[in-house]
Amino acid sequence: MPHPSDTASGFFARLAARVPPLLTAGPLAQYVPRMSPKSAKGFFLPCLPMTAPSAPSGPLWLHEIKHDGFRMIAQKRDDHVKLYSRHGTDMTKRFPLIVDAMTRLSVSSCMIDGETVVCGEDGIPSFDLLRYKHDDGRAFLYAFDVIELNGEDLRREQLEQRKAILWRLLKNEEGAETTPGLLINGWIEGEEADGAIVFEHACSLGLEGIVSKRKGSRYNSGRSPNWLKLKNPETVAVRRELEEDWGRRR
């Protein structure tokens, strides 16, 4: 079984390999944690992307891979960990690898947003492995946002700052993940590659698609025009959604 960093999605993570040095020198250096009296308590609806007809381009955007899995909010309070689906269903007991990874984080509290996935033998996330509960013990979280850290509500902070904080939280000094249960979902800056090119690569690798996010944006619950998704029409995920939609209309 290949490690996720060696799979297709690792291609995009490697393109973002220049990010760690930028946290201490460069445009991301300004984005370090700033404590405030704000706090995030309890579950709330996550930020959701809107469907876009085409991928945005330009330096005001960054682009991430969209994986075929379960959207998940992972919350830690001292030694207690909770995993919630996008609708608030408690999934804690189902994914032990993610729970263990969250427990190991050296912070008093945090809330991480991401996508829970299980990869098949080809290294591509397989929704069926999750849906039929075949490999829940191997499921890990592709983390792409941090909502709260040590009692500080980060939802009003800029996307770039949240990304920098998340990187510091989940990476060691060498830039490697500290635990297999929590992996950074790599992103590509709009200056590096146009959204259409990133989407083309994602499709060629058989991935579900991309989510493009506007820099400087806050984290808001519900559908956000600052998060735009574009799906690969050839994937199982799209065909599954079309079949489910057709079934509801019958």
**Positions marked catalytic:** 66
Long-range contacts of 75-79 (CB under 8 A, 24+ apart): 75/43, 75/102, 75/109, 75/110, 75/111, 75/112, 76/102, 76/103, 76/105, 76/107, 76/109, 76/110, 76/111, 77/108, 77/109, 78/108, 78/109, 79/103
Helix then strand then coil, % of the chain, to nearest 5: 30, 30, 40
Please, what is the angle between helix 195-204 and helix 8-15, to 10°? 150
